[in-house]
């Protein structure tokens, strides 16, 4: 913390004054330091963080569904155990992120209600079906790969609880990506039928994985302000480009083709050029019209309702613990 920030904090602590609080907030951001839950923050900062962190949490738990669909059909006990661990990791990511979102003041039930009633968004990618075992490979390699590219910079997000949650999430996502890569590598170096299955999965997941980074920069209403607040560190297109540059050589090692005839190295830019993505499809999916939106939401609501007894039992346990602690304190 720089001296300027320390002095401003003192002013805010001494006498609360919105201008001083805003100056303190601006200084923290200018210092590339962190805002913590008890710090004053502008309403718009709180709002956009609640939006982004809760959408991220929703994506993690909805993202369990396409893969959970393959747990009972994994080709071996070892692969089943690995896939189960991965799906459980996603539940854990949801937990860290809902906890981080709650520190901004909106309770978890409200956030879940927004998801269940279709008011809150979650990542477009999870509205596509997982049709074959090779999809577990393509999801791990491309979807978790895109997630890492997008999320590593979020470890430096200006809001402390979000940045800290992202550190652990990124470590686990890295294992997920390797797991997906290994599945695809085995298939693409297996029988001709297995290779075809791997190629088909990559063909279906490539475009939607690139769309995970969000709309193009000129159609991204939130990016500029989120970057000014050090929530996002790079724009959607910058991260998408970074991802394309990363996966082209990886696809070569897999001996699989990325389904984009416009993909070509551009010497001048020092990056790969890639073709226009289907943005009509993307906006249709985020409006709720993707191939699996209705199914994903219905399954989530069903799981939430089936889990009511767990929440009730946890509340009752907490009540008993509190009563026991109060009794011990009264005796002492």
Binding site for ligand 3HC (CB under 6 A): 51-52, 55-56, 59-60, 63, 90, 121, 123-124, 143-144, 147, 150-151, 211-215, 220-223, 226, 232, 236, 286
CB nearer ligand 3HC, residue 23 or residue 281:
281
CB nearer ligand 3HC, residue 199 or residue 211:
211
CB nearer ligand 3HC, residue 5 or residue 68:
68
How far apart are CB 166 and ligand 3HC at their closest, in Å? Answer: 9
Q: Which of 214, 49, 4 is nearest to 124 (CA)?
A: 214
- Rounded-to-integer distance, Cα 199 and Cα 195, Å: 6
DSSP string, 83-109: HHHHHHHHHHHHHHHHHHHHTTT--HH
How far apart are CB 97 and ligand 3HC at their closest, in Å? Answer: 9
DSSP character for 219? G
**What are the φ/ψ torsions at residue 123 (nearest 5 degrees)?**
-60, 135
How far apart are CB 8 and ligand 3HC at their closest, in Å? Answer: 28
How far apart are CB 220 and ligand 3HC at their closest, in Å? Answer: 3
Q: Classify residue 120 as exposed, middle or buried by CB count within 10 Å of its CB (0-12, 13-18, 19+).
A: middle
CB nearer ligand 3HC, residue 221 or residue 270:
221
- Give, in order, the Cα–Cα distances in Å from 181 to each of 66, 69, 199, 244, 255: 17, 19, 13, 16, 12
* Helices 160-188 and 144-151, axial angle in degrees (round to 10): 150
Q: Which of 318, 210, 327 is nearest to 260 (CA)?
A: 210
CB nearer ligand 3HC, residue 20 or residue 169:
169
- Give, in order, the Cα–Cα distances in Å from 115 to each of 46, 122, 124, 294, 321: 19, 8, 14, 12, 31
CB nearer ligand 3HC, residue 195 or residue 240:
240
How far apart are CB 94 and ligand 3HC at their closest, in Å? Answer: 9
CB nearer ligand 3HC, residue 115 or residue 147:
147
How far apart are CB 55 and ligand 3HC at their closest, in Å? Answer: 5
């Amino acid at each position: 913390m720089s001296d300027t920030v320390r002095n401003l904090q003192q002013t805010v602590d001494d006498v609360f004054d919105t201008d001083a609080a805003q100056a303190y907030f601006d200084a923290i951001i200018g210092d590339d330091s962190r805002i913590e839950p008890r710090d004053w923050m502008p309403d718009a900062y709180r709002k956009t963080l609640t939006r982004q962190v809760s959408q991220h949490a929703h994506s993690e738990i909805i993202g369990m569904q396409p893969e959970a669909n393959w747990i009972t059909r994994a080709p071996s006990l070892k692969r089943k155990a690995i896939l189960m661990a991965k799906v459980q990791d996603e539940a854990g990511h949801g937990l860290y992120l809902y906890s981080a979102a709650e520190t901004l003041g909106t309770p978890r039930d409200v956030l879940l209600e927004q998801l269940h009633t279709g008011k809150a968004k979650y990542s477009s990618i999870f509205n596509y079906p997982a049709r074959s075992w090779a999809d577990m490979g393509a999801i791990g390699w491309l979807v978790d790969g895109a997630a890492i590219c997008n999320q590593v910079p979020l470890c430096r997000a200006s809001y402390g609880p979000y940045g800290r949650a992202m550190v652990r999430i990124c470590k686990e996502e890295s294992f997920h990506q390797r797991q997906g890569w290994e599945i695809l590598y085995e298939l693409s170096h297996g029988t001709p039928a297995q290779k075809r299955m791997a190629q088909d999965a990559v063909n279906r997941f490539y475009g939607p994985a690139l769309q995970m980074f969000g709309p193009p920069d000129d159609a991204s209403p939130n990016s500029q302000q989120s970057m000014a607040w050090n929530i996002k560190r790079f724009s959607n297109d910058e991260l998408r480009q970074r991802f394309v540059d990363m996966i082209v050589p990886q696809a070569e090692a897999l001996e699989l083709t990325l389904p984009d005839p416009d993909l070509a190295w551009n010497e001048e830019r020092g990056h790969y050029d890639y073709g226009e993505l289907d943005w009509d499809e993307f906006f249709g999916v985020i409006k709720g019209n993707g191939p699996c939106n209705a199914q994903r939401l219905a399954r989530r609501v069903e799981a939430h309702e089936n889990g009511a007894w767990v929440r009730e039992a946890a509340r009752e346990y907490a009540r008993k613990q509190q009563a026991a602690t109060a009794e011990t304190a009264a005796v002492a």
